[in-house]
Structure 1
Amino acid sequence: MKRLSMICWLASGVVAIATIAGCIAQQPKAPDSPTLFDPPMNQQQKIEVQKKIDAQLLLKSGGQQISSTQVAYDNGNAVITFPVPGQVNTPNTTCDFGYVCFWEHIRYVGQKLALRSTPAIRTENLAQYGMSNKISSWKHNNNFFYVAIGGASQLNLGGIMVMANTFEFDIGGECCPFGVEQSTQHAPPPEFVFNEQMGYDNQMVSVGFYPYPQRKTAWFTGLHSPW
């Protein structure tokens, strides 16, 4: 079994991995509100974006328009950012601390969904945000080893796993669609903090959140029973 090379943050590449050593000295605080995105737009661009915002507010009630391109739900626990028409290939790489962010296209391009990242057990179905089967890249910006996140190909974490930030997130008997080998046992399960080009393009339908698993015998023996 080969050891997995780990770093706190990888500036370029497909997947970044973190281990506990040297990565958790700083514990920043999540912002009270998400960063607003108010780019310059001409009149026609404003009209087109507003149509998308209006359609989203009809799709899921309880939302609030917070900027010229954004809709927020549940006091900012979910934020949708629409791209500027004509600039669909321009990346919007911002992902506020305390959020996991999903983009419609690879390399952080297109419509973006930011979900507040907390260790409370919950499941979000992406259709309510207009993002079902539309996820091609993601980032997670939070304290290391704090929240475990997994994405699935069916509603309510059904189907197969198509995204996860830890080896210990198990859906339907499957673990870890990373294309990397099992980690060393000298730290908690490694944390993956971004993927700019998912290998399972556009198959994510739901996403789940759990407390991050710590070292335990089940992980060492290859069993997947972290909760």
Structure 2
Amino acid sequence: MRIVKAALVGAAATAALLSVAVPAGAQSAAPVDSTLEQQVQQTLDTVKGAERISVNTVRLAEGVSVTFPVKDRKAVKAATNGVAPRVDDWFGCSVGYLCMWEHVEMSGARINFTNCRTENLWAYGWGNRVSSYSNNQTGSVYTLFYDGDTAVWGEEATGYRRNLVDNGMNDRFDAVKVC
């Protein structure tokens, strides 16, 4: 009787977890909290052409994505057949990427860049929103950060991470020249 009851409870829990609708193209229908869903939906509604590519990641443009934090990684992993949202390398910033977070200490939502070009952060809802970053690009590249039309900060690609609160750069960037 206990085994049957446990199986029924488990089946009901699994059905509840899988009931969240995820748009076509996403990797799975995983359990998500309402805050995560609101962040994803707001991004999809705000950025023209944005596409959900996983439970917590939205592709904003070629070479640009935003990743939102997930509260319950175990539940997400269980509902995605053992594949949890990807976290790798330097504070979740993959090799070859420039990543910027909305909060200090590489926390909160993260915008990720891979292509060498200048990006208008306002186009993605990230103008004046960056509080920390990791420049995990490779090779001899130099990233510039702009406040308006003025480059106010620069960093070589060294895998370096930086909090911007203590140096007057917090929430100041309007654009970034990646590479």
TM score, norm. by length of structure 2: 0.64
The residue that corresponds to 1:106 in the other structure is 104
**For residue 130 of structure 2, what is the amino acid of its counterpart?**
I
Q: Which structure is larger by alpha-carbon Rg, 1 or 2?
A: 2
Kindly state the Cα deviation for residue 143 of structure 1 after the two structures are TM-superposed: 2.0
Kindly state the Cα deviation for residue 86 of structure 1 after the two structures are TM-superposed: 9.3
Question: Counterparts of 2:155 and 2:158 in 1: how far apart (Å)?
Answer: 4
The residue that corresponds to 2:119 in the other structure is 124
1:135 paired with 2:133, answer no
In the alignment, structure 2 segments of 5+ residues that lack a partner are 1-25, 74-86
2:69 pairs, out of 83, 88, 96, with 83
Kindly state the Cα deviation for residue 107 of structure 1 after the two structures are TM-superposed: 1.0
2:160 pairs, out of 178, 181, 194, with 194
1:165 pairs, out of 155, 162, 166, with 155
Q: Does structure 2 retain, via aligned residues, the 8 Å contact 1:48–1:85?
A: no
Identity value in percent: 22
Q: Does structure 1 retain, via aligned residues, the 8 Å contact 2:51–2:60?
A: yes
Kindly state the Cα deviation for residue 144 of structure 1 after the two structures are TM-superposed: 3.0
1:151 paired with 2:142, answer no
1:96 pairs, out of 91, 94, 97, with 94
Q: Where is the helix percentage greater, Structure 1 or Structure 2?
A: 2
Deviation per residue, 1:27-46 (Å, 9 max, x gap) = xxxxxxxxx999x85x5x1x
Kindly state the Cα deviation for residue 194 of structure 1 after the two structures are TM-superposed: 2.2
Q: Does structure 1 retain, via aligned residues, the 8 Å contact 2:50–2:60?
A: yes
Question: Counterparts of 1:59 and 1:134 in 2: how far apart (Å)?
Answer: 16
Kindly state the Cα deviation for residue 192 of structure 1 after the two structures are TM-superposed: 4.9
Deviation per residue, 1:60-96 (Å, 9 max, x gap) = 1111101111101334x00101123699xxxx71111
Kindly state the Cα deviation for residue 114 of structure 1 after the two structures are TM-superposed: 0.2
TM score, norm. by length of structure 1: 0.52
Greater relative contact order, per chain length (Cα 8 Å cut-off, separation 6+): 1
Kindly state the Cα deviation for residue 56 of structure 1 after the two structures are TM-superposed: 1.0
**For residue 209 of structure 1, what is the amino acid of its counterpart?**
V
Give the 4+ runs in structure 1 shifted more than 3 A.
84-87
Task: Go from structure 1 to structure 2 and tell me whether the alpha carbon gap of 1:104 and 1:37 turns closer, same or farther (over 3 Å shift).
Answer: farther
In the alignment, structure 1 segments of 5+ residues that lack a partner are 1-35, 167-190, 211-227
**For residue 70 of structure 1, what is the amino acid of its counterpart?**
T
Question: Counterparts of 2:173 and 2:133 in 1: how far apart (Å)?
Answer: 11
The residue that corresponds to 1:206 in the other structure is 175
**For residue 107 of structure 1, what is the amino acid of its counterpart?**
E
**For residue 201 of structure 1, what is the amino acid of its counterpart?**
N
Question: Counterparts of 1:37 and 1:108 in 2: how far apart (Å)?
Answer: 25
- Aligned-residue Cα RMSD (Å) equals 2.7
